[in-house]
């Protein structure tokens, strides 16, 4: 089911960042109590107690623990011999572990690098084959097309600009020479000879073309071709057989008469190869053979060697000629009809392949010593050594280092499905080639070092020193009472989190006096012992003080209320714990006291309980650190917490002045601040701007007085604060000049805003407060980073459910292979497949394995990522029907499904069996949960941005295919066809173990996606009727309990996707305002472009009211009535009714704003 996030990992991830960015400084100068812990006044680097100077409060806690320890008078020496054995064992264990750990890390790095580079080579080889295959096919098709265009009949077909086609085919395909050979029947021989003599002008045309590239034609012959088809003089093939004269070549032949009109099939080997190609009707490769006979006739030797010199340095090896490197022929059929492989084969395209071509430019410079062996099924092999972008031919044979056989990576250089049939043709010189990649010892040595041994020696020496030191120290140290120390440390830890150190001491002193009084009364035999009150007692003077100089910070999450209405409660707390946990770390390092958090508001103060003159400077630095850290944390959290998380902002307000602070006694007593300074600081925050720090005049004066004039800039105009009237405020610069970055190492980089910018920001704040949408909310389909984060979040959700599927199945993640493919009947549309009752699986008990222990296969994860990314790319850049909205719908599904999986009935949790019955079987089948998330993600794929009625009216092609629910059916087919693609076979196998599971998965997907067509009245009436059958009180359908449960589960899933599709109407007003505005913009754009007949602004207000009254609110009530969604249905209904009221009051004004925004945006 949806991911269950643990807040700890997010905090731990950023704790590491903090430690890396902190710098250690020494203690302050003697007697300089007012000096900050920073090296100089402009240095914002932080000092962590773990890395140097301890914070004062930490020292106080240690003192308290020592005081408790000193009360223990017993001196013990515990288990000296055992400790020695433990330390010795630990030394051995850690030393060996460190050695193995570093050694394993180097091995892992080496293997990881090899996997990366071998994958790069594999991808390049596959791309080379694809280029070669497409080049051959393109050449054959061009020849077939030329016959039609020129009104010629095979074999009398000539391409006058054959060199242009040939050069294009040879480019980037590894083809050195390309020849077109028509098939001539014996009775056509005389006609062909006449035809060839008349049309031999192509030779000079081709030579003119190559001369433009600088090729010298001085050595080329000027004689024409001979008036005959000449054959191999040693041929035993009867002259009555088929002829294949060489006709056109690229590059043109060096000598014409011995090449052109040579019957290629007069050689027995070539006849066998031609027969194999004709049988397969596919291009084929021949064995590697010596083609030096072509030098001086078909090929100019100098040109040939220059070609290879650009590929590999063939003169480095023992070769005397470039032909010593492997070459072979490739044959491709030419069909009589373009792209019709069933038509007659009328000729062949023969290519000379230089295998050197495929071994260069495979790796980046500096990556050397990877062996590639080319093998074929004709028992030949040839080896190369890859070094960066170049290659070195080692020689014939498989010459890789055998010790690396287990790391072989192979890639096929062919495209046959029936491989066995092709292998049986090896006696006809038809070969299948493959590339085999291996590392070398030299490659491995680049990643290995003596560091493991050195580290092990250092650790062993350190432990030896520690053992010696232990014996020396043991004579001087008194053992402490562990129980007393633990109790003291625990008490101090609890109190230190609530109160400053001075207040803690006073509280402990009060408690100590009470304990003494209690003991005294008991010793006197009092009839009724004194009941010692804790901090809620009001006896004695209150613990309170007046602090004249302080700076208070208020920080508030902008957009948090709307964001929290979309997310699960656990995610809400994970966000707050992670962000404010980071603030707490910064506060401890900056020696700032955290007062409290109220909702999503964070309150802190500097200048108390320990007074300090630089309180304003310290708080300014703390505020900037918090803003920088927040911006880093929030981007990291979006992948875990979902869309819109990175859109959250932080608003800061600072004010300096006096406060009264103390312990407000009573239940849950805590340290609190009171006074006008608190109120003013709160106003600074509430009237501020997102991701900006607003400070009051008093705070700005203190900062300027400290010589930091560049830190502040006045805000244009005055603000009006409640209870304060007009106030002049300032902006605190979020960037740091002249110093290293702060604790997070990430700066806000927001310079002091100009007057114009400040005015703009004020309007932006008002827009956030009033409508819940800002400029940042406007859709930006070109934002690749945002789309990437959305894809990552969708992958995470689906990955977690996949783990549950595998855990339920109890296997490694791959199915039995039975779910390889499922295609619907061509005559049936998705709407035809909708069922009233989907037959779900039987309850099979709890999962066989722990979900957290499941590790999915890398192939599954890669295919899942590729699938999600492809789906995202299939969405059109609509303002509303976009991948971003699909992710919003997915989040709503996740939230509702989490309530289905973890409902509590009357305060008690259900066991697995009861939960299965209560949720109609949905919760016990993770495949259903995966299908729901899958449906949400793909439900608007390729949506055209207009209603189905518009598509029907326009008689669009989709409407002609589907007739109704056009966009929805199109999304089903597109998503399903992609899911059935062979490249996602492992993913399908992980989702569905067999064909029956795949059919059930598709049925759920079809039913849910068809349910999103809410504008079709006929379909809505059918769904309402089915709801009454499932949950109505007057129904008297006679069916089994299992069928009844499946019926309810079916209708619940359909309403789940319906509610999620319009979830924005049942969430916070700001969320509704955002997505409703985008839907209006999309509809308005369609009207402006002439695709809608009516201006939507004329009916939008009334239409939304009707939508709430007749669809949204009834749907929310249905969710509550079915009972499986727990408090989520109540929450949805409450938001729907609130939004309906808000729209009734403000809707007309908002529609006017919509219209103005649409017009101003150029629509």
Q: What pLDDT, in 10s, does the model give residues 997-1012?
A: 888 899 999 989 888 8
* Percentage of the chain lying above the pLDDT 70 cut: 75
* Residue 435 pLDDT: 94
* Residue 140 pLDDT: 92
pLDDT digits (tens, 9 = 90+) for 782-830: 467 888 888 988 999 999 889 888 888 764 444 444 456 677 766 688 8
* Residue 2 pLDDT: 42
pLDDT for residue 1146 is more than 60: yes
pLDDT for residue 741 is more than 60: no
Residues 1120-1128 have a mean pLDDT of: 73
* Residue 961 pLDDT: 82
Q: How many residues does the chain have?
A: 1163
pLDDT digits (tens, 9 = 90+) for 185-238: 999 989 999 999 999 888 888 888 888 877 777 667 767 788 888 887 777 777
The Cα 937–Cα 916 span in angstroms is 25
Residues 723-734 have a mean pLDDT of: 85
pLDDT for residue 751 is more than 50: no
Residues 614-620 have a mean pLDDT of: 92
What Cα–Cα distance (Å) separates residue 583 from each residue in 15, 38, 43, 58, 602? 11, 19, 19, 17, 9
Alpha helices in 358-450 (DSSP H): 419-423, 441-445
Within 388-513, strands assigned E span 390-396, 409-412, 433-439
Q: Which of the given ranges, 366-370, 391-395, 880-884, 898-902, has the highest pLDDT on average?
A: 880-884
What Cα–Cα distance (Å) separates residue 118 from each residue in 103, 361, 368, 436, 438? 22, 13, 12, 10, 8
* Residue 79 pLDDT: 65
The Cα 1093–Cα 1098 span in angstroms is 12
3-state secondary structure of 906: coil
* Residue 155 pLDDT: 92
* Residue 375 pLDDT: 94
Cα Rg for the chain, rounded, in angstroms? 39
Helix (H) or strand (E) holding 744: none
Least confidently predicted of 52-66, 367-381, 813-827, 1014-1028: 52-66
Residues 734-756 have a mean pLDDT of: 38
**Nearest CA among 767, 763, 766, 703 for reference residue 729:** 703
pLDDT for residue 31 is more than 50: no
The Cα 350–Cα 283 span in angstroms is 9
* Residue 749 pLDDT: 34
Least confidently predicted of 85-94, 262-271, 314-323, 984-993: 314-323
Residues 338-353 have a mean pLDDT of: 91
Q: 964 versus 505: which is more confidently predicted?
A: 964
* Residue 783 pLDDT: 65
Q: 181 versus 317: which is more confidently predicted?
A: 181
- The values of phi and psi at residue 1013, to 5°, are -85, 90
- The values of phi and psi at residue 908, to 5°, are -120, 150
* Residue 744 pLDDT: 35
* Residue 314 pLDDT: 46
The Cα 778–Cα 783 span in angstroms is 11
* Residue 901 pLDDT: 52
How would residue 671 be classed by pLDDT, with cut points 50, 70 and 90?
confident
**What rounded mean pLDDT belongs to the chain?**
78
The Cα 844–Cα 839 span in angstroms is 15
| Contact status, residue 1147 vs residue 1104, Cβ threshold 8 Å | yes
pLDDT for residue 941 is more than 90: yes
Residues 248-265 have a mean pLDDT of: 84
């Amino acid at each position: 089911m949806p991911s269950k996030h643990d807040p700890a990992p997010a905090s731990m991830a950023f704790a590491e960042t903090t430690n890396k960015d902190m710098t250690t400084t020494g203690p302050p100068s003697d007697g300089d109590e007012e000096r900050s812990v920073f090296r100089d006044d402009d240095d914002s680097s932080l000092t962590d107690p773990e890395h140097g100077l301890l914070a004062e409060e930490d020292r106080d806690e240690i003192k308290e623990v020592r005081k408790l320890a000193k009360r223990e008078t017993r001196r013990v020496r515990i288990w000296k011999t055992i400790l020695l054995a433990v330390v010795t064992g630990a030394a051995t264990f850690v030393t060996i572990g460190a050695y193995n750990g570093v050694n394993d890390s180097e091995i892992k790095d080496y293997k990881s690098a090899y996997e990366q580079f071998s994958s790069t080579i594999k991808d390049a080889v596959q791309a080379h084959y694809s280029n070669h295959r497409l080049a051959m096919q393109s050449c054959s098709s061009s020849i077939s097309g030329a016959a039609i265009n020129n009104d010629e009949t095979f074999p009398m077909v000539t391409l006058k600009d054959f060199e242009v086609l040939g050069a294009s085919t040879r480019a980037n395909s590894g083809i050195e020479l390309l020849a077109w050979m028509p098939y001539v029947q014996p009775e056509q021989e005389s006609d062909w000879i006449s035809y060839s003599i008349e049309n031999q002008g192509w030779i000079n045309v081709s030579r003119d073309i190559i001369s433009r590239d600088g090729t010298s034609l001085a050595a080329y012959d000027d004689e024409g071709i001979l008036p005959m088809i000449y054959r191999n003089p040693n041929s035993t093939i009867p002259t009555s057989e088929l002829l294949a004269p060489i006709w056109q070549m690229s590059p043109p032949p060096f000598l014409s008469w011995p090449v052109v009109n040579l019957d290629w099939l007069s050689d027995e080997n070539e006849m066998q190869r031609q027969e194999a190609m004709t049988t397969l009707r596919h291009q084929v490769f021949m064995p590697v053979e010596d083609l030096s006979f072509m030098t001086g006739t078909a090929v100019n030797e100098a040109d040939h060697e220059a070609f290879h010199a650009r590929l590999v340095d063939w003169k480095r090896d023992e070769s005397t000629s470039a032909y010593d490197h492997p070459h072979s022929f490739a044959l491709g059929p030419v069909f009589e009809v373009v792209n019709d492989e069933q038509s007659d084969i009328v000729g062949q395209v023969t290519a000379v392949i230089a295998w050197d071509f495929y071994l260069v430019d495979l790796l980046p410079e500096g990556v050397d010593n990877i062996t590639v062996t080319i093998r074929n099924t004709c028992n030949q092999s040839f080896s190369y050594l890859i070094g960066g972008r170049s290659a070195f031919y080692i020689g014939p044979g498989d010459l890789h280092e055998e010790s690396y056989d287990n790391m072989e990576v192979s890639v096929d250089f062919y495209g046959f499905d029936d491989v066995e049939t092709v292998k049986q043709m090896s006696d006809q010189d038809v070969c299948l080639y493959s590339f085999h990649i291996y590392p070398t010892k030299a490659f491995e040595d680049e990643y290995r070092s003596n560091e493991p041994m050195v580290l092990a020696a250092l650790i062993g020496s350190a432990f030896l020193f520690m053992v010696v030191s232990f014996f020396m120290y043991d004579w001087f140290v008194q053992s402490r009472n562990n129980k007393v120390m633990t109790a003291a440390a625990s008490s101090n830890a609890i109190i230190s989190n609530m109160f400053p150190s001075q207040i803690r001491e006073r509280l402990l002193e009060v408690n100590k006096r009470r304990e003494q009084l209690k003991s005294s009364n008991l010793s006197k035999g009092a009839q009724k012992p004194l009941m010692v009150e804790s901090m809620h007692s009001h006896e004695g003077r209150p613990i309170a003080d007046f602090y004249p100089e302080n700076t208070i910070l208020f920080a508030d999450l902008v957009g948090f209320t709307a964001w929290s209405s979309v997310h699960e409660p656990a995610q809400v707390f994970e966000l707050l714990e992670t962000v404010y946990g980071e603030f707490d770390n910064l506060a401890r390092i900056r020696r700032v006291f955290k007062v409290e958090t109220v909702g999503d508001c964070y309150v802190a103060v500097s200048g108390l309980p320990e007074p300090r003159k630089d309180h304003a400077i310290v708080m300014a630095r703390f505020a900037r650190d918090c803003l920088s850290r927040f911006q880093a944390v929030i981007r990291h959290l979006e992948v875990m917490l979902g869309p819109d998380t990175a859109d959250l902002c932080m608003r800061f307000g600072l004010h300096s002045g006096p406060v009264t602070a103390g312990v407000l006694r009573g239940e849950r007593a805590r340290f609190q601040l009171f006074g006008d300074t608190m109120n003013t600081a709160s106003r600074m925050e509430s009237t501020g701007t997102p991701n900006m720090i607003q400070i009051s005049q008093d705070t700005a004066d203190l900062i300027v007085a400290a010589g930091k004039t560049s830190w502040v800039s006045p805000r244009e105009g005055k603000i009006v604060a409640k209870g304060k009237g007009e106030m002049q405020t300032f902006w605190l610069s979020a960037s740091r000049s002249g110093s290293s970055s702060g604790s997070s190492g990430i700066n806000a980089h927001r310079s002091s805003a100009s007057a114009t910018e400040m005015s703009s920001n004020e309007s932006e704040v008002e827009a956030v407060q009033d409508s819940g949408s800002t400029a940042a909310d406007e859709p930006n389909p070109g934002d690749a980073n945002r789309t990437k984060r959305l894809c990552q979040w969708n992958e995470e959700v689906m990955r977690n459910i996949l783990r549950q599927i595998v855990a339920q199945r109890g296997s490694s993640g791959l199915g039995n292979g039975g779910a390889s493919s499922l295609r619907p009947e061509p005559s049936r549309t998705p709407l035809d497949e909708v069922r009233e009752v989907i037959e779900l699986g039987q309850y099979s008990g709890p999962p066989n394995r722990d979900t957290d222990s499941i590790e999915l296969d890398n192939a599954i994860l890669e295919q899942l990522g590729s699938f999600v990314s492809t789906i995202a790319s299939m969405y059109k850049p609509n303002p509303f029907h976009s991948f971003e909205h699909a992710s919003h719908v997915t989040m709503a599904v996740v939230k509702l499904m989490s309530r289905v999986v973890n409902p509590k009935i009357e305060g008690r949790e259900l066991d697995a069996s009861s939960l299965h019955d209560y949720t109609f079987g949905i919760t016990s089948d993770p495949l259903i949960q995966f299908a729901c998330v899958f449906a949400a993600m793909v439900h608007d794929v390729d949506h055209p941005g207009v209603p189905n009625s518009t598509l029907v009216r326009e008689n669009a092609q989709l409407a002609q295919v589907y007739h109704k629910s056009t966009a929805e059916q199109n999304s089903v087919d597109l998503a399903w066809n992609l899911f059935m693609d062979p490249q996602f076979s492992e993913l399908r196998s992980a989702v569905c173990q067999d064909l029956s599971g795949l059919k059930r998965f598709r049925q759920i997907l079809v039913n849910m996606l068809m349910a999103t067509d809410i504008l079709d009245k006929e379909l809505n009436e059918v769904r309402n009727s089915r709801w009454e059958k499932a949950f109505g009180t007057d129904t008297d359908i006679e069916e089994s309990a299992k069928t009844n449960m499946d019926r309810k589960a079916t209708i619940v899933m359909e309403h789940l996707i319906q509610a999620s599709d319009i979830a924005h109407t049942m969430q916070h007003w700001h969320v509704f305002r955002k997505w409703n505005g985008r839907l209006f913009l999309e509809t308005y754009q369609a009207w402006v472009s002439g695709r809608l007949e009516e201006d939507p602004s004329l009916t939008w207000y009334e239409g939304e009211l009707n939508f709430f009254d007749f669809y949204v609110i009834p749907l929310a009530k249905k969710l509550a009535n079915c009972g499986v969604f727990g408090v989520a249905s109540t929450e949805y209904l409450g938001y729907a009714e609130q939004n309906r009221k808000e729209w009734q009051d403000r809707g007309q004004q908002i529609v006017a704003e919509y219209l103005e925004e649409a017009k101003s945006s150029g629509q």
